[in-house]
Amino acid sequence: MKKLLLVNCNTEKAPYPVPPLGLCLLSAGLEDDWEVSIYDCMFDEGVDLINRVLQFKPDYIGFSIRNIDNTMPDNCVYYVDNQISRIILPVKKITSAKIILGGSGFSIFPQELMELTQADYGIIGEGETAFRQLLDSLDKGEDVFSFRNVLVGSGTKAGSGSAYIHQGLFSDRFSEIDRKIDFTPYRERGAYSIQTKRGCSHGCIYCTYPLLEGTAFRTRKPVDIVDEIEQAQSRVGDVMFEFVDSTFNDPRGHAEAICREIIRRKLRVRLRTMGINPRNSSEELFELMMEAGFIQIDATPDSASPILLSNLGKGFDLHEVQQMATAIRKFNLPTMWFFLFGGPGENSETFKETLDFIDQYINPEDLVYMASGLRVYPNTPLEKTALQEQVIKPGQSLLYPPVFYFSNGITRDRLVQLIHDASSDRLNCIYSAETRPPLEMLQEAHKLRAEQKLKEPMFRTLLRIRKEWKGKGLL
Ligand code: B12
């Protein structure tokens, strides 16, 4: 059996460490015919990677590049340099194994990352089918130049060999994350990732999801999804399960069906999800979610200004955002809200429209993240706007330095000032560039949670402490 080493290059622990779901899925699909080992750099920053390579002696090494930067114009963290200089290049120096790159970050900037790493191959997009085909063909010594989604060496341009297509059904294998990596350190703050579908049919102007996953939803069967959760829970015990879909409640009815299956089996699970789409949300959905075991959701309308919702291509209107917020509040479903200011057409009036919505509709016990500036990614509608408005030049690299779009209707400084003002008046509002709570606050929160056996989301505990500290004049 030929040997394959898969390396998770991601070491970012904020907002919490995320397990390498993609690599575990790839491993699950390959391990019948390949001897696969995963090296997870998350907690040891890759210090033992060279030893693993020397001992395991892989024929091929796949590096997963998930994060490029933290998408924040203020306090921007750029991850690529470290991943290349500390993880990929040292391995390249000591092995003759073929180096293959993949992952969502890689798929956004494939050519530039091939050049920077001088890797042998790269796979754009999802890997289940393409990676297996590539490995099998390389192993037989076959030509792989014409393979779709595959880059060969740093010289290839995106051509027939890399035209990006989205595959049909994705693997029905379970990731079994806890069997593939040491899941213990993820238990405390992280979650067990579950994907219920791929694809996104929405057209948010800045977003990479349709490029990464395709524009058509490809759903898994609710029975399979709940089997996966049930089996994982029987192995790992009480853990938070997190849905990692672009939007959880798309297409309409799928999320409801998953919740019903969980309820039918009387599972006692803790669940959270990002991406609730206002258009397909309803009281029925939130009621089912509460009953199924959701203890936290992320709501990401980006704006509550009708002009911005339209300019950002969100595909839902203010009324639908208001309805969603009302339903969330009715069921007291702990929610982290995300607003993204600075899109095309943003000005002080549109900012105020969103603020009015926050004041009227959002539970003050829920957290509101306020971000500024839109990260510009290749092949998105925002890239075209940025070109037209001469924010970027034709041919300019968007990889580094990271490029952000700001509306020309308000200066960047003024926008940040408005966010600062809004967050100092409202304790539940936080400027996303300044989200990390002070260490002392985190320690107090952990202590309180342990003493009182609190099961509420961490953000609610932190928010209460923040209010107390403010009351005592400590903030
Ligand atoms: C869910 C999600 C989150 C959740 C994660 C929850 C969790 N428990 O995992 C939360 C909200 C916490 C989150 C946070 C962040 N995220 Co996020 N997230 C996503 C999202 C929507 C899905 C990721 C996922 O799990 N996909 C499912 C798995 C199965 O897919 P996959 O890992 O990509 O693997 C497949 C392929 O990539 C490929 N593949 C992967 N590795 C390899 C390796 C080889 C060798 C090969 C051949 C193929 C291959 O095959 C796999 C199977 O098909 C993506 C966008 C997207 N649609 O992909 C953004 C995304 C990954 N996130 C992104 C970012 C920036 C972040 C943050 C830095 C944001 C921030 N400022 O906090 C943090 C970082 C968190 C961390 N600790 O690393 C960016 C990364 C690119 C970039 N711009 O840098 C993305 C792409 C979104 C975007 N803006 O475009 N995120």
Predicted pLDDT at 159: 41
Determine which of 19-28, 201-210, 224-233, 432-441 has the lowest per-residue pLDDT on average.
432-441
Cβ–ligand 1 distance for 111 under 6 Å, the answer: no
Question: Ligand 1: which atom is nearest the Cα of residue 130?
Answer: 47
Q: Is the peptide bond before 251 cis (omega within 30 degrees of 0)?
A: yes
3-state secondary structure of 436: coil
CA of 212 to the centre of ligand 1 (A): 10
Question: How many whole angstroms separate alpha carbon 320 and alpha carbon 120?
Answer: 48
Determine which of 163-172, 285-294, 382-391, 397-406 has the lowest per-residue pLDDT on average.
163-172
Predicted pLDDT at 270: 96
Give yes or no for a contact between 303 and 368, defined as CB atoms under 8 angstroms apart: no
Instruction: Using CB atoms within 10 Å of the CB of residue 171, give its burial: 0 to 12 exposed, 13 to 18 middle, 19+ buried.
Output: middle
Per residue in 44-55, pLDDT (tens digit) is 999 999 999 999
178 pLDDT exceeds 90? yes
98 pLDDT exceeds 90? yes
Number of neighbouring beta carbons within 10 Å of residue 84: 20
| Options 3.40.50.280, 3.30.420.40, 3.40.50.880, 1.10.10.10; CATH of 3-152 | 3.40.50.280
Question: Ligand 1: which atom is nearest the Cα of residue 190?
Answer: 8
Q: What are the angstrom distances between the C-alpha of 321 and each of 317, 324, 328, 388?
A: 7, 5, 11, 30
- Residue 101, H or E segment: strand 98-102
Cβ–ligand 1 distance for 246 under 6 Å, the answer: yes
Cβ–ligand 1 distance for 76 under 6 Å, the answer: no
Cβ–ligand 1 distance for 104 under 6 Å, the answer: yes
* Residue % of the chain over a pLDDT of 90: 80
> Region 312-326: what's the mean pLDDT?
98
CA of 67 to the centre of ligand 1 (A): 7
Predicted pLDDT at 188: 82
Band (156; pLDDT cuts 50, 70, 90):
low
Per residue in 135-150, pLDDT (tens digit) is 999 999 998 988 888 9
Question: How many whole angstroms separate alpha carbon 29 and alpha carbon 135?
Answer: 12
Determine which of 102-116, 133-147, 420-434 has the lowest per-residue pLDDT on average.
420-434
Map tokens 């056996």 to a residue. Answer: 453
Per residue in 260-313, pLDDT (tens digit) is 999 999 999 999 999 899 999 999 999 999 999 999 999 999 999 999 999 999
The angle that helices 439-451 and 458-471 make with each other, rounded to 10 degrees, is: 120
Predicted pLDDT at 38: 98
441 pLDDT exceeds 90? no
Cβ–ligand 1 distance for 22 under 6 Å, the answer: yes
Closest to 195 (Cα-Cα) out of 24, 67, 4: 24
Closest to 161 (Cα-Cα) out of 176, 172, 146: 146
Predicted pLDDT at 158: 47
165 pLDDT exceeds 50? yes
The dihedral built from the CA positions of residue 109, 112, 117 and 119, taken in this order, carries a sign that is: positive
Q: What are the angstrom distances between the C-alpha of 313 and each of 203, 355, 382?
A: 6, 20, 10
Question: How many whole angstroms separate alpha carbon 436 and alpha carbon 457?
Answer: 16
What residue's CA is closest to ligand 1, atom 18? 244
Determine which of 132-141, 147-156, 181-190 has the lowest per-residue pLDDT on average.
147-156
Question: How many whole angstroms separate alpha carbon 389 and alpha carbon 320?
Answer: 31
Number of neighbouring beta carbons within 10 Å of residue 450: 9
The DSSP letter of residue 69 is B
What residue's CA is closest to ligand 1, atom 46? 102
> Region 381-402: what's the mean pLDDT?
97
* Residue % of the chain over a pLDDT of 70: 96
What residue's CA is closest to ligand 1, atom 78? 12
- Please give the CATH number for the structural domain made up of 177-424: 3.80.30.20
The pLDDT mean for the chain works out to 93
What residue's CA is closest to ligand 1, atom 30? 22
Cβ–ligand 1 distance for 18 under 6 Å, the answer: yes
